[in-house]
Chain A
Amino acid sequence: MPLPFKIEQTGPTTLTMTRGLSAPPAKVWRAHTEPELVMKWMGMGPYPIVKADIDLKVGGGFRYEWQTPEGGIMAVNGEYLDLSAPHRIVHTEIFDEDWTDGKTTVTSSFEAVEAGTRVTLEMKYRSEEGLQMALQSGASEGVQATYDQLADLLVAA
């Protein structure tokens, strides 16, 4: 593996992940954009992927569905904002059962390096303006309630 997995905060509401892959960007691009290939790697352990619909054009969208251990379906819907094969995909995404407080904008970059491809995944959670509005409007009370529940859990544990 050319470059180990790394995750770091790179902006006010942005997490960035990097990972090296031993294949050229053209193959990595196909693995991210062809449904039958997406199905082969986007599963998550106890959450097998059961559906990948892709309308690969700017303004087009995608929907992935995973089976949950309880027998339900977890799904993410997204829209493509930029498609620059084979190097860059920008899309928004939102899970049916949302836990990130709205749309996340994801920029996937596939950079050719000697060992293959360096993948950079930048995940921007909502807008900073939206955040400030939420903080000022008292929407953070909901967040506080979550922390209170967590604190209760930690005390109980």
Chain B
Amino acid sequence: MTGNIAPLLAALADPTRRAILDRLAEGEATVGDLAEALSTPQPAISRHLKVLTEAGLTHRRIDAQRRPARLAPEGFAPLDDWTRTLRETYETRYAQLDRLLADMPDEET
């Protein structure tokens, strides 16, 4: 149906990682750029980038001595697919539940 979304949810749960994704949405950035923009030590940025890259949300590009990170928009697709599936499934179900509840006699509750 869709890819495994648990690592995506875990990656997105951290506020620093969300801030990194926000910054990368403006364009690629190095660990140094991100550390400065977010006032966070470089080793912490590196750890967060590793989690984001493993979750498929960012890429690292090798460019001589630099390894700039950039957003991998396609990495969000499984989560989009999953939440859309949940929404469609439950909106359908709850509309059916609305009708069932309206038809249920009061004396049986």
Contact = CB atoms under 8 A, between A and B. Distances in A.
B44 to A, nearest CB: 17
Contacts of A14: 9
B98 A1 contact: yes
A147 B56 contact: yes
A43 B54 CA distance: 36
B94 A26 contact: no
Interface of B: 1-7, 9-10, 12-13, 51, 54-56, 72, 74-75, 77-78, 83, 86-94, 96-102, 104, 108-109
Interface string A1-44: 10001010101111101010111101110110000010011111
A41 B100 contact: yes
A150 interface: yes
| Prevailing SS type, chain B contact patch | helix
Contact of A147 (B3, B88, B98): B3
A140 B100 contact: no
A25 to B, nearest CB: 9
Given A21-B97, A154-B74, A30 B91 contact: no
Contact of A19 (B5, B51, B77, B90): B90
Contact of A40 (B7, B54, B91, B96): B96
A101 B4 contact: yes
Nearest to B73: A154
B83 A7 contact: yes
B94 A21 contact: yes
Interface in A114-137: 119, 121, 123, 125-126, 128, 131-132, 134-135
A125 B3 CA distance: 13
Contacts of A143: 3-4, 7, 54-56
B101 A27 contact: yes
Contact of B87 (A7, A9, A11, A21): A7
A140 B94 CA distance: 34
B100 A40 contact: yes
A11 B96 contact: no
A72 interface: no
A41 B5 contact: no
B80 to A, nearest CB: 11
A22 B101 contact: yes
